[in-house]
């Protein structure tokens, strides 16, 4: 059986520690997104086979199997199971691939998938960072800082600081234009916090410029080329999507926005983890029976400018089809939620623009890539 993306919703993505969601529990803002998605879906809650939630740091307020807890917070029947999965930045895209695989195997027809991350309230690497002492000495690359990997890619591919800043500026420009044209409004859920409404993304900077970026110091090493402007901001946010079999969608008169064709997860050296999308995309293309030239839309998670530029070059992509509505450098990157956002954004653009084929892909800490191939219906 084939699987389809029926609908999706997300919270505003706001800057960690400074943004409007920093004071809101992640299980609270995520549950509001989930409830709104379910309210819009024309299905019986008893027909949901599983709730699959990705989270990079499932601790504290987003711990204790947040997937199962979300089922309670959303008012789903007690018989609806829920699980939490962790593939770091790829977690919520992995949730979608797991749902699609289950549907293909005949192990269910209707899944709610998504991701949650508060980088304000659960610190990176968790509350009890404990690297293996021998591996930390013998293979420190396993724990390499993500910013250093961006520097490594910039050096390896000869990507200048100016090139990185120009890429970041374009991301903000495209995201700002998409916001002004109303292309983000349908996906956003207004979060209510003690009577206050949080309705807009908080990381997009329409006013940014190459001049302002040029004044920033390197963020990760002396003499480096990667700055805060060319790194995705620490972000809070949540995303949920409804993934069903095509038969289920038809029998319930649902209107899917895209079909899931294939997916792939691959690995690469951790010290250049940003190049993970290259191999995972090539494998997803092979499994779909496509070539890169067949693609109309490509959503690439912009963890850093350097790795985004390098991946686009390595894959031979037309930059005009990449991140049409802006990317994570502008919109933000709440780790466990970003994969679902870019996959569903690719699906939405296919439907909106009348395009045919898309891939969404992202790099993953530890040296991995994950991709999902989609086609219009």
* Alpha carbons 205 and 198: distance in angstroms, whole number: 17
CB 156 within 8 A of CB 278: no
Among 55, 89, 110, 311, the active-site one is: 89
Active site residue 311: no
Query: In 3-state terms, what secondary structure has residue 334?
Result: coil
CB 301 within 8 A of CB 328: yes
| 50-54/357-364 β-pairing | unpaired
Active site residue 110: no
The helix (run of H) or strand (run of E) holding residue 264 is strand 258-267
Among 203, 268, 311, 363, the active-site one is: 363
* Alpha carbons 323 and 327: distance in angstroms, whole number: 6
* Alpha carbons 27 and 17: distance in angstroms, whole number: 17
DSSP-derived secondary structure for 90-154: THHHHHHHHHHHHHHHTS-SEEEEEEEEETTTS-TT-SS----HHHHHH-GGGG--HHHHHHHHH
Active site residue 132: no
Residue 283 neighbours by CB distance under 10 Å: 18
Among 110, 172, 311, 333, the active-site one is: 333
Number of residues that make up the chain: 377
| Catalytic site positions | 89, 333, 363
């Amino acid at each position: 059986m084939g699987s389809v993306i029926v609908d999706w919703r997300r919270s505003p993505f706001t800057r960690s520690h400074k943004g409007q969601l920093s004071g809101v529990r992640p299980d609270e803002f995520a549950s509001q997104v989930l409830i709104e998605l379910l309210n819009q879906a024309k299905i019986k809650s008893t027909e949901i086979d599983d709730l699959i939630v990705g989270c990079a740091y499932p601790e504290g307020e987003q711990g204790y199997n947040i997937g199962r807890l979300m089922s309670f917070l959303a008012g789903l029947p007690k018989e609806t199971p829920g699980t939490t999965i962790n593939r770091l930045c790829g977690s919520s895209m992995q949730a979608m691939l797991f749902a699609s695989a289950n549907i293909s195997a005949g192990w269910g027809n209707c899944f709610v998938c998504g991701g949650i991350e508060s980088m304000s309230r659960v610190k990176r690497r968790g509350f009890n960072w404990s690297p293996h002492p021998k591996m930390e000495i013998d293979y420190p690359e396993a724990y390499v800082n993500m910013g250093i990997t961006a520097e490594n890619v910039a050096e390896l591919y000869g990507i200048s600081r100016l090139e990185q800043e120009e890429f970041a500026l374009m991301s903000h420009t495209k995201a700002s234009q998409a916001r002004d044209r109303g292309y983000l409004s349908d996906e956003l859920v207004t979060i209510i916090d003690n009577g206050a409404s949080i309705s807009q993304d908080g990381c997009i900077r329409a006013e940014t410029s190459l001049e302002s970026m040029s004044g920033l110091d390197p963020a990760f090493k002396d003499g480096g080329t990667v700055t805060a402007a060319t790194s995705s901001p620490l972000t809070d946010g949540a995303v949920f999507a409804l993934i069903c079999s095509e038969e289920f969608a038809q029998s319930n008169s649902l209107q899917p926005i895209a079909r899931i064709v294939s997916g792939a997860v691959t690995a690469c050296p951790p010290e250049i983890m940003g190049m993970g999308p290259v191999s995972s995309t090539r494998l997803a293309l092979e499994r779909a029976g496509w070539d890169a030239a067949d693609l109309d839309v490509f959503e690439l998670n912009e963890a850093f400018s350097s790795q985004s530029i390098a991946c686009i070059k390595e894959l031979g992509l037309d930059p005009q089809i990449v991140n049409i509505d802006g990317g994570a450098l502008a919109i933000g990157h709440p780790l466990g939620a970003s994969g679902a956002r870019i996959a569903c954004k690719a699906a939405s653009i296919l439907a909106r623009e009348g395009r045919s084929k898309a891939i969404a892909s992202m790099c993953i800490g530890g040296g991995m890539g994950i991709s999902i191939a989609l086609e219009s219906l």
